[in-house]
A and B are shown apart, each in its own frame.
Chain A
Amino acid sequence: AQTVTQSQPEMSVQEAETVTLSCTYDTSESDYYLFWYKQPPSRQMILVIRQEAYKQQNATENRFSVNFQKAAKSFSLKISDSQLGDAAMYFCAYNDMRFGAGTRLTVKP
């Protein structure tokens, strides 16, 4: 079975700086999708970014980008110019049903 590992339970970043959240996964499949979701405090979880494994180009969405290393089975999320509204739990997911334990991101003003 596929597993997703987020090794950083908590991370902290200064406002306007850059932070990278780590995610590794284990799979024997060659085609799959990877996701980062954001869960703000007391609010619904929403999609941040999606990566298709057959695409070598890293996905980007405004200040959010990923570093996808297929051979290493690594899928990190970079948040640039961090804002107070980025404070949340971030979950890495493999396909549509396999989630990591999450990383709580704190943004310091």
Chain B
Amino acid sequence: DVKVTQSSRYLVKRTGEKVFLECVQDMDHENMFWYRQDPGLGLRLIYFSYDVKMKEKGDIPEGYSVSREKKERFSLILESASTNQTSMYLCASSIRAGGAYEQYFGPGTRLTVT
């Protein structure tokens, strides 16, 4: 079974802090994604990556950056956390690009910025 893990289930940070969210998948998937999930808005794509060291902006990249130094690991970075970044963050992976493939999701990180 594909397993996608995220470094924390719950995280509380202060405004202005630099925040790292880590995601690891164990099935050699090419694609990895970061979403944020907010009530009434569903999942919105922040960034995705088709390969190591490659990244593409999604719909809401402002205030975020990503890093993919190894195929299995995709990190989301909040350079200077703000209260409007309080949300549930979901990481996902899929076998390859093209839109046809099922995504496998991590358990999510609920981030609170105070």
Does A99 sit within 8 A of B, measured CB to CB?
A: yes
Q: Which residue of A lies closest to B33 (CB)?
A: A97
Any A CB within 8 A of the CB of B61: no
How big is chain A's contact interface, by range? 20 to 34
Query: Chain A residues near B31 (CB, 8 Å)?
Result: 96
B105 touches A45 (CB 8 A): yes
Question: Which residue, A91, A97, A98, has most C-beta atoms of chain B within 10 A?
Answer: A97
B residues sitting closer than 8 Å to A (CB atoms) are 4, 31, 33, 35, 40-45, 48, 58, 90, 92, 94, 98-103, 105-108
Residues B101 and A96 in contact, CB atoms below 8 Å apart: yes
A66-95 vs B: 1/0 string, CB under 8 Å?
A: 000000000000000000000000010001
Known A97-B48, A97-B58, A101-B40; contact A44-B106, beta-carbon cutoff 8 A: yes
Determine the chain A residues whose CB is within 8 A of the CB of B33 once the complex forms. 96-97
Which residue of chain B has its CB nearest to the CB of A94? B99
Among the interface residues B40, B43, B44, which one has the most CB atoms of the partner chain A within 10 A? B43
Nearest residue (CB) in A for B41 is A101
Do residues B99 and A96 form an inter-chain contact, with CB atoms below 8 A?
Answer: yes
Q: Which residues between 4 and 20 of chain A lie within 8 Å of chain B, taking CB atoms? A: 4, 6, 9
